[in-house]
Structure 1
Amino acid sequence: MEWIFVIIAGFLEVLSVNYMNKWQIIKNLGLKKSSTLIVKMILAFGISLLLLNLALKTLPMSVTYAVWSGIGSVGGVLVGIIRYGESANWKRLICIAMILSSVVGLKLVS
């Protein structure tokens, strides 16, 4: 159950960063700022940290944090590529693969 908490927390971190990016886009375009966007961002970050905290009660911190931040890092890059048209060059994709393999490797040796 704890690993499910970590995975959901990681995806909520990605969602939070997506909300943060939307906020910046709205701000840069001079559009009306949405307070609901900020509330969603704070809730997603808060629930993410709560779930991470619950998982850390039984899982080792080193691997748990690596998995959570790996999901957040890779997810953030993929959202940027898919949703916001950021570069998907081979160098970035290799870096994503290295992050994923490192997180899997940490889990396997723990």
Structure 2
Amino acid sequence: MGWLLLFAAGCSEIVFALSLKYNEGFTRLWPSVITAISGLGSFYLLMLSIKTLPLGTAYAVWTGMGAVGVAVLGIILFKESTDWVRMLSILMIVLGIVGLKLTHTE
């Protein structure tokens, strides 16, 4: 259950970070509401996940998911760079997340 909560927290973190792009300094109502709700939801789900997962693992996976998700969506939505160094860096984060999952024992 902890991993499922952590996955949901990571997805919420991606929504939070993307909504920052659209709320224009909290001057647009609905993007600002989405920022607040997704941010609170992300932290809450992370908090629940660390009841059964080690803090270091959960936090690293949560931030990694957010970083990879936002980087990939930045490429798709905002036409950000896809140079090989950037793509390799994203891959290394993914490998780190997988490594943390594989080495975790409950």
TM-score over 0.5 for the alignment? yes
Paired residue for 1:7? 7
Note if 1:96 corresponds to 2:55: no
Aligned-partner Cα distance in 2 for 1:40–1:109: 34
Q: Which runs of 5+ in 1 are unaligned?
A: 28-32
Aligned-partner Cα distance in 1 for 2:92–2:79: 22
Identity %: 36
Aligned-partner Cα distance in 2 for 1:54–1:81: 31
The residue correspondences of 1:19-30 to structure 2 (distance < 5 A) are: 19-24=19-24
Q: How many residues align structurally? A: 103
Q: Which runs of 5+ in 2 are unaligned?
A: none
Note if 1:109 corresponds to 2:97: no
Note if 1:38 corresponds to 2:40: no
RMSD: 1.2
Match of 2:44 among 43, 50, 55: 50
The residue correspondences of 1:67-106 to structure 2 (distance < 5 A) are: 67-106=61-100
Give, in angstroms, the shift of residue 11 of structure 1.
0.8
Give, in angstroms, the shift of residue 34 of structure 1.
1.9
The aligned amino acid for 2:39 is: F
Does 1 or 2 have the higher relative contact order (CA < 8 Å, sep 6+)?
Answer: 1
